[in-house]
Structures are given as structure tokens and as C-alpha cells.
């Protein structure tokens, strides 16, 4: 059999096809095996207008790969004895004051890093148009404190960025410095990672990718950079940027620390900033049960015992109606650790194989029609494992299936809205809806204006969040635009946004005057109920 670098290079045309099918202008890939870099390759362009190529030093948003950095920062504090994995959040963060009694009195450091708290998810409130982060940094903890618990405590894994932002507040309180300073000084600087940033790189930084959203035909449109961390909020959960050169060094050190600390039983490894790695990578909560082999979430990492279905932190599982393909058939079983990242303008994956000291990193610059790095990462993984040809998955077929399913979302949404609509109703005078509506903690507002006899709302009062409200029925309006227009405006666009998300439901008081606005911003959580500001009530 040919050497691994040659075998990986033969996959180049398949990777280019996966990029084309999903809609991804640029992609960066690196593979380490037995502790040595065996393959680095760049695909496509980082800037379509200028035709600038991707290189091994091109900086991409790494999105939720940031979570492992936040968990590793917490591990340093545990190793220093400043807290434990079972420390209650309320005992180290006095400003934590959850509205839910169970969360307030029982939530631990491990709970928030393993997504097992049951706290409500509010992704569509936090992430807006043009990659805006809609929760101000100064109000972040107040917003987290207000979130109800929507699932039983510690009974299941429910992915939630809010919990990693809460972890960031804990790190700052315990360390006495900002999350940015702590991660930079205790992890990035010791590793010499000079092209890794904890929020978007400073102006003038060279070789930074443009970000894109995919349109219906697979072409792409440039959108603003992700803004996580710029006003603090979103930094600890997904604000970092990096390149494959830096990430290989980071994960090489992490994997070596994994091996050393499991062998020695110690919480530290010489010349490594990574502490308590055996705790960081041990199972904390099962995922996607039933599962024949282990599938669980650790702290910033997914554990999967191969053969297994992968991709659970990305968007592909929601696009595969018959389930994700099983990876690693026909070869000896082994444990992998992986995580994915996704935001408008970027998708990413890292896969670690501790038994062979191997790493796969894939970074891309597009929110594609499917999760392109996920398919590429699984393709590379099967080559690295030397899965027999008869047992390998057809990732080109999987890409076509997932794109076709992705493109069904918008027509199905329009059809659902149309079929459920009550015909023959009229709105009241549009002026009656005008006003500023606030949530119950005065953190989030929606401003409703009338311009040229057309009604608009603006999330957080921002001009970039301005959408026309079209009458739907009674006192309900919709703000849905064509899918391509939503993509061009830099929004997250996908199957997980159900029909109620696109409705603005106004309600009246006992006097018949409009004084409430109800928005079902995320599936499975209580709708946001906003009250009209007194000065704007009629």
C-alpha cells in the first residue's frame, strides 16, 4: 500500500468535489500521525474577489473548537486548587443568580462544561444578522441568570453556548483577569501560537480569510466576520480564530498530554500547558442514545468508540433522514475525540486519535449547504484508519443527499406557513403595533417602526436587524425573506429554524390595546414575551 501522504493526496479531487457540492470557496486541511505532520494541504481561495489562495497560515474562525480552550483554562484553575470539578458555580461566582432553583443550588463546573444542565438554549436570540452578537457583554450574565431549565437536570446532553459563556465568567472571577488574558497567557503564549486569536484578528493582520454563506445553487456570498468576543459575549463559546499550522501544534501537545497523564495518573505534563487532561476527556454525559458503542460528551470534546456515527455537533445529522453513516467499519475499534464548529461564514472540525497520536484538522470559510468539513474529516479518518474499500462510506453521495435535504427547508417552511394561515383576516391600524418592546429583564428589545406605511422590526434596535413585517393573520406578522436574501444578510440559515421563529405575534391588553410581542425564537424553549415600553403605548 502507498505511503499515507500519497494516499491522502489522492483524495484531493474528492475533497474539491465536496467543496463544490456544499458551496465552500476555501478549505485548509492538516493530518498528524504518530506525532508527526504527514499532510498539509490548502484548497480554493480565501478571497473570491481577489482570487487569493488558502495557505497553511490562513486564519479562519474556529467557532466552537474554542470550547476546548475554555475547558482547558478551567482545568488549569482546578490543577492549581482554586476550584474543583464539583465546585458549585454559585460558590465561586457570586453574581450567578439563576432564576431556576435547581441550577442556582446544584450547578457545578462539570455541569456547565458538559452541557448537561438542562438550561434553555437561546441561540437565535444571541446570533443575529451580519454575524451580530445580540446580547451585550455587560448584560451577558444577567441574561444567563434569566434562562429557565427546560430539561431535567443531568439527564441528557443538550448543547448550549450559554454555559460556556458562564464558564468564561467563572474563569475571570477565579483568576482575577479576563478570559482573553488567561487563555492567551496560560495556553496560547506557552505554545507559541502567534496566529491564533480569541476574537477576530486585528485590522491589518495578513492572510485572514473572507467569510461566506452558500446560496441555493452552491455559489457563495461574502458576509461580515463572526463577532463572538468583540463585546466579550460569545468569546468563550466560539470566538477564536486560528490556522492549521497553529492548531496542529496545539492538538499535538494536547494529545501527548492525554497519553502521559493517563499513564502517570498525574494532572500535569512537563512543558505542556494542558492540565487535568484525563478529566477533560473522560465521559460526563451520554449522547444520542441508544448507541451500540460509547458516544458521550466530555468537557469540550465528544468521545466516540469506533465504529460509530459521527458529526453530532455539526449540521449534517439534521440533513440525513436515514441517519449518519457509520465510520470505522472493518478495522479494530478505537476511541476518538472530536469537536465541530459552525457559524455563518465558517465550519470546522478536529478529530483526535489518542491511540496512534493522530490528529485531523479541517477549517473552511463558508456556512455551506451541508457541513463540508465534517464530510472531509470523516473521509480522511477512514483513509487514516485504512478502512477496507468495501466498508468505506460514499461521502459524495452523502454530500448530495444532505444538500438536497438542506434545500427542502425553505420551500417546506413557506408551504407550512401558507397552509396554517387563517384566511380573510386583517390587521388593525399599523400605528397600533409601533413601539419599543422589552423582555422581562430589560436586556433584549425589539423596536417596531412604521415607514411609508410599512411595518418593520429591528432586533435590539439595530439597523442591520431591520426586517419588514408582512401581515400573516389577525395580529400576527412574518419577517421571512427568500433564503438567498437571508444568506446574503449574513444570517444562520437552516432546517432548525421552524415556522414559529418567523412570526411576530402581537397581543393586546384588557383594554384592547397592543402591549405585548411574542417571539418563539428557539424550538423547545419558552417563547420570548416582550412588553411595550410605556412611552410608546397608545
Whether residue 335 is contained in a domain is answered as yes
Q: Is residue 184 part of a domain?
A: yes
Helix crossing, 372-384 with 395-420: angle to 10°? 150
Statement to judge: residues 364 and 460 lie in one domain: no
pLDDT attached to residue 125: 85
What pLDDT sits at residue 524?
84
Of the candidates 200, 202, 203, the one whose C-alpha atom is nearest the C-alpha of residue 225 is 200
Using pLDDT thresholds of 50, 70 and 90, give the confidence band for residue 487. Answer: very high
| Same-domain pairing of 392 and 511 | no
Q: 357-381 pLDDT, tens per residue?
A: 999 999 999 999 999 999 999 999 9
Same domain, 193 and 287: yes
Q: What is the mean pLDDT of residues 327-352?
A: 97
Contacts of 404 (CB under 8 A, 6+ apart): none
47: DSSP letter: E
Written as nine digits, the cell of 103 is 441550577
CA dihedral for 426, 499, 486, 445, sign (positive or negative): positive
Using the predicted structure, report yes or no on whether residue 338 has a pLDDT greater than 80: yes
3-class SS of residue 20: helix
Mean per-residue pLDDT, 27-35 = 95
Q: Are 196 and 209 in contact (CB under 8 A)?
A: no
Question: What's the mean pLDDT in 321-331?
Answer: 96
Residues 247 and 363 in one domain: yes
**In this structure, is residue 197 part of a structural domain?**
yes
DSSP 127: B
Q: What is the mean pLDDT of residues 151-169?
A: 95
Give yes or no: residues 255 and 346 share one domain.
Answer: yes
CB 327 within 8 A of CB 308: yes
Residue 331 and residue 210 share a domain: yes
Given a cut of 80, whether residue 537 has pLDDT beyond it is: no
- What is the pLDDT of the chain when averaged over all its residues? 96
The answer to whether residue 247 sits within a structural domain is yes
Question: Torsion over CA of 270, 271, 273 and 274, rounded to 10 degrees?
Answer: -40
Instruction: Please tell me the distance from the alpha carbon of residue 196 to that of residue 190, in angstroms, as a whole number.
Output: 12
Q: Judge if 399 and 462 occupy the same domain.
A: no
Residue 359's SS3 state is: strand
pLDDT at 495 over 90: no
CATH number, residue 475: 2.40.128.50
| Band of pLDDT at residue 104, cut at 50, 70 and 90 | very high
Kindly report, residue by residue over 424-469, the tens digit of the pLDDT.
999 999 999 999 999 999 999 999 999 999 999 999 999 999 999 9
Per-residue pLDDT of 240-289, as tens digits, reads 999 999 999 999 999 999 999 999 999 999 999 999 999 999 999 999 98
Is residue 286 located within the same domain as residue 394? yes
In a domain, 373, yes or no: yes
Q: Containing domain of residue 321, as a range?
A: 4-407
Among 462, 495, 488, CA closest to 345 = 488
Same domain flag for 72 and 105 = yes
Alpha carbon distance 380, 15 (integer Å): 9
Tell me which residue of 431, 490, 395 sits closest to 14, measured CA to CA.
395
| Residue 425 within a domain | no
If you average pLDDT over residues 174-178, what whole number do you get? 98
- State residue 538's pLDDT score: 46
Helix axes 161-175, 66-79, angle to 10 degrees: 40
Is residue 504 pLDDT above 60, yes or no? yes
What is the arithmetic mean of pLDDT over 481-504?
92
What is the predicted pLDDT for the residue at 536? 57
pLDDT band with cut points at 50, 70 and 90 for residue 534 = confident
Residue 301 corresponds to which cell in the numbers above?
470534546
How many domains, in total, are found in the chain?
2
With a cut of 90, say whether residue 346 has pLDDT above it: yes
Residue 417 located in a structural domain: no
Among the three residues 407, 441, 472, which one is the final residue of a domain in this structure?
407
How many Cα atoms are found within 13 Å in the side-chain-facing hemisphere of 226? 37
Q: What is the DSSP string of 507-530?
A: EE-TTS-EEEEEE--STTSPPEEE
Residue 538 belongs to some domain of the structure: no
CATH assignment at residue 279? 3.40.710.10
H-only helix segments in 331-430: 372-384, 395-420
On whether both 440 and 353 belong to a single domain, the answer is no
pLDDT at 258: 96
Residues 63 and 94 reside in one and the same domain: yes
Of the chain, the end-to-end C-alpha distance in Å amounts to: 78
Residue 157's alpha-carbon distances to 37, 73, 148, 228, 332, in angstroms, are 34, 22, 16, 23, 28
Q: Which of the four pLDDT bands, split at 50, 70 and 90, describes residue 523? A: confident
Q: Are strands 466-473 and 476-478 parallel, antiparallel or unpaired?
A: antiparallel
pLDDT in the model for residue 1: 53
333 & 477 share domain: no
d(CA 217, CA 224): 21
The answer to whether the beta carbons of residues 211 and 491 sit under 8 Å apart is no
pLDDT at 32 (0 to 100): 96
Amino acid at each position: 500500500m502507498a505511503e499515507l501522504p500519497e494516499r491522502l493526496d489522492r483524495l484531493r479531487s474528492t475533497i474539491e468535489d465536496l467543496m463544490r457540492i456544499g458551496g465552500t470557496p476555501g478549505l485548509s486541511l492538516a493530518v498528524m500521525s504518530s506525532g508527526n505532520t504527514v499532510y498539509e494541504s490548502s484548497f480554493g481561495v480565501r478571497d473570491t474577489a481577489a482570487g487569493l489562495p488558502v495557505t497553511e497560515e490562513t486564519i479562519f474562525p474556529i467557532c466552537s473548537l474554542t470550547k476546548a480552550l475554555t475547558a482547558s483554562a478551567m482545568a488549569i484553575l482546578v490543577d492549581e486548587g482554586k476550584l474543583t470539578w464539583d465546585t458549585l458555580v454559585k460558590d465561586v461566582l457570586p453574581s450567578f443568580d439563576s432564576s431556576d432553583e435547581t441550577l442556582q443550588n446544584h450547578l457545578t463546573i462539570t455541569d456547565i462544561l458538559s452541557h448537561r444542565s438542562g438550561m434553555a438554549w437561546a441561540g437565535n436570540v444571541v446570533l443575529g444578522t451580519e454575524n451580530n452578537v445580540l446580547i451585550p457583554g455587560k448584560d451577558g450574565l444577567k441574561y444567563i441568570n434569566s434562562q429557565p431549565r427546560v430539561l431535567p437536570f443531568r439527564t441528557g446532553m443538550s448543547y448550549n453556548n450559554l454555559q460556556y459563556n458562564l464558564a468564561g465568567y467563572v474563569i475571570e472571577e477565579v483568576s482575577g483577569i479576563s478570559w482573553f488574558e488567561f487563555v492567551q497567557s496560560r495556553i496560547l503564549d506557552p505554545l507559541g501560537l502567534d496566529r491564533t486569536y480569541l476574537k477576530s484578528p486585528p485590522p491589518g493582520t495578513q492572510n485572514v480569510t473572507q467569510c461566506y454563506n452558500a446560496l441555493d445553487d452552491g455559489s457563495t456570498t461574502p458576509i461580515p466576520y463572526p463577532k463572538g468576543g468583540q463585546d466579550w459575549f460569545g468569546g468563550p463559546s466560539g470566538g477564536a480564530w486560528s490556522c492549521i499550522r497553529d492548531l496542529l501544534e496545539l492538538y499535538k501537545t494536547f494529545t501527548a498530554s492525554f497519553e502521559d497523564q493517563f499513564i502517570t495518573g498525574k494532572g500535569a505534563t512537563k512543558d505542556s500547558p494542558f492540565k487535568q487532561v484525563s478529566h477533560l476527556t473522560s465521559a460526563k454525559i451520554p449522547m444520542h442514545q441508544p448507541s451500540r458503542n460509547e458516544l458521550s460528551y466530555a468537557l469540550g470534546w465528544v468521545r466516540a468508540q469506533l465504529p460509530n456515527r459521527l458529526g453530532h455537533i455539526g449540521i449534517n445529522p439534521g440533513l440525513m433522514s436515514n441517519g449518519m453513516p457509520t465510520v470505522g467499519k472493518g478495522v479494530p475499534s478505537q476511541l476518538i475525540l472530536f469537536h465541530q464548529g459552525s457559524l455563518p461564514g465558517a465550519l470546522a472540525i478536529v478529530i483526535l486519535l489518542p491511540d496512534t497520536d493522530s490528529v485531523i484538522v479541517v477549517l473552511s470559510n463558508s456556512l455551506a449547504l451541508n457541513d463540508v468539513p465534517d464530510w472531509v474529516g470523516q473521509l480522511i479518518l477512514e483513509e487514516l484508519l485504512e478502512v477496507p474499500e468495501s466498508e468505506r462510506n460514499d461521502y459524495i453521495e452523502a454530500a448530495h443527499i444532505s444538500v438536497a435535504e438542506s434545500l427542502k427547508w425553505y420551500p417546506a417552511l413557506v408551504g407550512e406557513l401558507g397552509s396554517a394561515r387563517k384566511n380573510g383576516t386583517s390587521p388593525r391600524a399599523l400605528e397600533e403595533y409601533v413601539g419599543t418592546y422589552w423582555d422581562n429583564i430589560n436586556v433584549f428589545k425589539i423596536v417596531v417602526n412604521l415607514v411609508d406605511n410599512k411595518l418593520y422590526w429591528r432586533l435590539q434596535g439595530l439597523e442591520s436587524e431591520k426586517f419588514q413585517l408582512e401581515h400573516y393573520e389577525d395580529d400576527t406578522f412574518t419577517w421571512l425573506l427568500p433564503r438567498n436574501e437571508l444568506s446574503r444578510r449574513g444570517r444562520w440559515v437552516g432546517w432548525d429554524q421552524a415556522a414559529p421563529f418567523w412570526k411576530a405575534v402581537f397581543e393586546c391588553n384588557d383594554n384592547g390595546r397592543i402591549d405585548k410581542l411574542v417571539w418563539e425564537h428557539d424550538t423547545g424553549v419558552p417563547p420570548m414575551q416582550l412588553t411595550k415600553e410605556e412611552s410608546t403605548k397608545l
